[in-house]
């Protein structure tokens, strides 16, 4: 006797993202899994007296999205508790936002905000700018993150709390901004110098607030059609919040963790062996702590990304400055080998082309000693790559974790031009070259580095290489690197699921897989490319149940 379906979606145009890229008319669901796909007539044979039937009225359905790179706790905290202002804000505008926010807070409470533009370091790195920030919040410590989330701008009250003063040296792999004219502190904290302030500000957060933050972030993601994600730097508080939510039946998505092998200087929380030793205590049906994480360099705008060629001379760095590698090659090889012996793949942050080359060299060395592996290491960002390194991604089985959603002209890129020059800065995101070379390209958001992790914005940018928001009209970023729409959709569905090691569960609409799918307000294959980013998700299903309804 044939099984009947719990749910049938019928009368639509359903893109499966299966290996053949098939389109079907209907899909049947039973027990949270896809029972069958095919024609409306075929699915009608699976209809029982209790089957819920949804008439799609010709609408497009596709697999729910997977985000290969986000920071789910930071994103939720930003949404629920923190000040938000645009990355285009000037010094005075930032201070106005801080003043308004601080006026509603008790003295001594932290003002935490996001995110100043990567092109703002020069303007903020002045005593006069710090004086404006101090005047905006004289009674409250202030910590404002930049849009890369690697650097901070803080006021004098915050520096006093953590003991930063003119006669204190910055920590290794970190720096204190100083006014080029006076040599005095400006409140700019680079990379590892941010850690102490982040730690101090975090003391106000409780476990319940963290759970609420993660829950809210997942709700936002579901609303954008996302039901799977890889948390990109999963310290213990994040792993605990995810596991607690899932055990309470409140986590509506697949969550893959990336456990830091070394505590990042600008983040904090249990990391390294202490975290690896307890990871299985937090493994649940939907929480999979299967990756390790390393940062190999910083970010280009702050001149902390590692490049083969030097940054432009600026007077603040030694001549020939090329950024800094955070892990030396012997240690990197050891950490890749350690991850593999634990059965874990490594997600590694590399934004400069030297760090990308170094990671590929290290993987090649490990392959020489260990032989083949089914583990897929990920190079996170993979934004600047030497042409000769493109083909090595496929050859070594390394995933290009392509994020954030900035493969189009942005103010973020303007900060790169300032320190690298226009020609080098705009050789940014060689996505078509990676795809054509056979690399697995997986889309992510790096949320909250981007304010909202809307995959359609990223997909439109991959197809057009122009800004979907209308900024920089008529300007394309390296237009030759555009890819076709179907490839871009796969980069946000089945490809990241494969990269995360959950493609047996989700990422495509195939019998036996989780019924994770979305109904759209338009067929993206029938509209001009400039309208792709305006697509709305009407309904999101996770394991066959509605987790978002517009």
**How many whole angstroms separate alpha carbon 2 and alpha carbon 467?**
50
* Residue 82, in any domain of the structure: no
Parent domain of 198: 89-202
| Predicted local confidence at residue 265, as pLDDT | 62
| Predicted local confidence at residue 1, as pLDDT | 42
Residue 141 sits in the same domain as residue 265:
no
CA-based nearest residue to 27, from 518, 399, 403, 483: 518
Ranges of H-type helices in 183-280: 195-202, 207-223, 236-247, 273-276
Residue 340 sits in the same domain as residue 438:
yes
What letter would DSSP give residue 518? E
CB 307 within 8 A of CB 195: no
- This prediction has a pTM of 0.89
**How many whole angstroms separate alpha carbon 383 and alpha carbon 385?**
6
Number of domains in the chain: 2
Identify the CATH number of the domain in which residue 467 sits.
3.20.20.140
Strand partners, 26: 10, 38
Decide: helix, strand or coil at residue 224.
coil
* Residue 94, in any domain of the structure: yes
CB 373 within 8 A of CB 340: yes
Strand partners, 33: 30, 514
Residue 185 sits in the same domain as residue 236:
no
Residue 285 sits in the same domain as residue 160:
no
**How many whole angstroms separate alpha carbon 512 and alpha carbon 16?**
13
CB 126 within 8 A of CB 182: no
Structure tokens of 135? 């005047």
* Residue 301, in any domain of the structure: yes
Structure tokens of 229? 């994600």
Q: In the listed set 152, 187, 202, which residue is the last one of a domain according to the structure?
A: 202
Strand partners, 28: 8, 36
Identify the CATH number of the domain in which residue 136 sits.
3.10.310.70
Residue 174 sits in the same domain as residue 217:
no
Cα of 429 vs its chain's centroid, Å: 15
CB 292 within 8 A of CB 347: yes
| Predicted local confidence at residue 29, as pLDDT | 98
Cα of 523 vs its chain's centroid, Å: 26
* Residue 212, in any domain of the structure: yes
CB 344 within 8 A of CB 313: no
Query: Quick check: bond before 502 cis, omega within 30?
Result: no
| Predicted local confidence at residue 100, as pLDDT | 95
Residue 157 sits in the same domain as residue 261:
no
φ/ψ (deg, to 5) at 347? -100, 125
Residue 99 sits in the same domain as residue 149:
yes
pLDDT tens track, the chain, 550 positions: 468 999 999 999 999 999 999 999 999 999 999 999 999 999 999 999 999 999 999 999 999 999 999 999 999 999 999 999 998 899 999 999 999 999 999 999 999 998 898 789 899 999 999 999 999 999 999 999 998 788 999 999 999 999 999 888 888 888 999 999 999 999 999 988 988 898 898 888 888 999 999 999 999 999 999 999 999 999 999 999 999 999 999 999 999 999 999 977 656 668 899 999 999 999 999 999 999 999 999 999 889 999 999 999 998 889 999 999 999 999 999 999 999 999 999 999 999 999 999 999 999 999 999 999 999 999 999 999 999 999 999 999 999 999 888 899 988 898 899 999 999 999 999 999 999 999 999 999 999 988 899 999 999 999 999 999 999 999 999 999 999 999 999 999 999 999 999 999 999 999 999 999 999 999 999 999 999 999 999 999 999 999 999 9
Structure tokens of 311? 């940054």
Residue 260 sits in the same domain as residue 117:
no
- Burial class (CB within 10 angstroms; exposed 0-12, middle 13-18, buried 19+) of 163: exposed
**Residue located via tokens 């201070």:** 95
* Residue 233, in any domain of the structure: yes
| Helices 207-223 + 72-81 axis angle, to 10 | 100
* Residue 130, in any domain of the structure: yes
Residue 394 sits in the same domain as residue 336:
yes
**How many whole angstroms separate alpha carbon 40 and alpha carbon 37?**
9
* Residue 5, in any domain of the structure: no
* Residue 162, in any domain of the structure: yes
**How many whole angstroms separate alpha carbon 88 and alpha carbon 113?**
14
CA-based nearest residue to 456, from 394, 533, 517: 533
β-pairing, 537-542 vs 545-549, is antiparallel
Residue 135 sits in the same domain as residue 233:
no
| Predicted local confidence at residue 205, as pLDDT | 84
Q: In the listed set 158, 186, 202, which residue is the last one of a domain according to the structure?
A: 202
Residue 176 sits in the same domain as residue 261:
no
Which strand (E) or helix (H) includes residue 328? none
**How many whole angstroms separate alpha carbon 500 and alpha carbon 516?**
16
Residue 192 sits in the same domain as residue 317:
no
Sign, CA torsion 7/10/13/19: positive
CB 453 within 8 A of CB 224: yes
């Amino acid at each position: 006797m044939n099984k009947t379906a719990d749910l049938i979606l019928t009368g639509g145009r359903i893109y499966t993202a299966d290996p053949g890229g098939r389109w079907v008319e209907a899909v049947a669901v039973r027990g949270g899994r896809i029972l069958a796909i095919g024609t409306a007539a075929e699915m009608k044979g699976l209809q029982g007296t209790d089957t819920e039937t949804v008439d799609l009225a010709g609408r497009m359905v596709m697999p729910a999205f997977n985000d290969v790179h986000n920071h789910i706790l930071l994103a939720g905290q930003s949404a629920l508790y923190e000040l938000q202002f645009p990355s285009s804000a000037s010094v005075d505008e930032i201070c106005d936002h801080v003043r308004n926010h601080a006026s509603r807070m008790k003295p001594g409470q932290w003002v935490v905000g996001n995110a100043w533009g990567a092109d703002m370091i020069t303007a903020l790195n002045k005593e006069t700018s710090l004086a404006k920030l101090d005047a905006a919040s004289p009674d409250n410590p202030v910590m404002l993150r930049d849009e890369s989330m690697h650097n901070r701008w803080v006021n004098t009250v915050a520096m006093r709390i953590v003991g930063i003063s003119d006669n204190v040296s910055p920590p290794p792999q970190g720096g204190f901004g100083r006014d080029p004219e006076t040599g005095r502190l400006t409140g700019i904290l680079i990379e590892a110098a941010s850690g102490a302030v982040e730690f101090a500000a975090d003391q106000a957060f409780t476990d319940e607030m963290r759970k609420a933050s993660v829950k809210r972030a997942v709700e936002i993601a579901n609303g954008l059609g996302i039901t799977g994600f890889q948390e990109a730097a999963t310290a213990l508080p994040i792993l605990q919040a995810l596991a607690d939510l899932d055990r309470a039946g409140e986590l509506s998505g697949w969550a893959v963790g990336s456990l830091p092998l070394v505590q990042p200087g600008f983040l904090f929380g249990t990391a390294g062996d202490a975290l690896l030793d307890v990871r299985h205590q937090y493994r649940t049906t939907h929480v999979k702590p299967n990756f390790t994480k390393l940062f190999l360099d910083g970010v280009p705008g702050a001149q902390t990304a590692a490049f083969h060629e030097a940054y432009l001379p600026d007077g603040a760095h030694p001549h020939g400055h090329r950024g800094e590698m955070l892990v030396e090659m012997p240690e990197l090889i050891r950490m890749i080998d350690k991850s593999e012996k634990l059965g874990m793949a490594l997600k590694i942050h590399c934004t400069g082309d030297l760090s990308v080359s170094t990671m590929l060299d290290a993987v090649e060395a490990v392959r020489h000693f260990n032989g083949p592996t089914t583990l897929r290491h990920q190079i996170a960002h993979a934004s600047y790559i030497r042409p000769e390194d493109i083909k090595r991604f496929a050859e070594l089985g390394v995933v290009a974790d392509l994020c954030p959603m900035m493969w189009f002209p942005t103010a973020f890129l303007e900060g790169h031009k300032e320190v690298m020059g226009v020609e080098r800065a705009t050789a940014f995101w060689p996505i078509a070259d990676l795809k054509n070379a056979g690399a697995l390209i997986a889309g992510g958001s790096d949320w909250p580095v981007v304010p909202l992790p809307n995959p359609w914005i990223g997909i439109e940018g991959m197809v057009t290489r122009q800004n979907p928001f209308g900024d920089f009209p008529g300007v394309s970023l390296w237009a030759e690197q555009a890819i076709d729409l179907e490839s871009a959709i796969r980069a946000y569905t089945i490809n990241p699921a494969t990269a995360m090691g959950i493609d047996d569960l989700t990422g495509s609409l195939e019998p036996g897989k989780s019924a994770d799918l979305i109904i759209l307000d338009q067929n993206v294959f029938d509209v001009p490319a400039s309208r792709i980013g305006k697509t709305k998700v009407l309904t999101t299903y996770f394991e066959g149940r509605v987790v978002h309804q517009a």
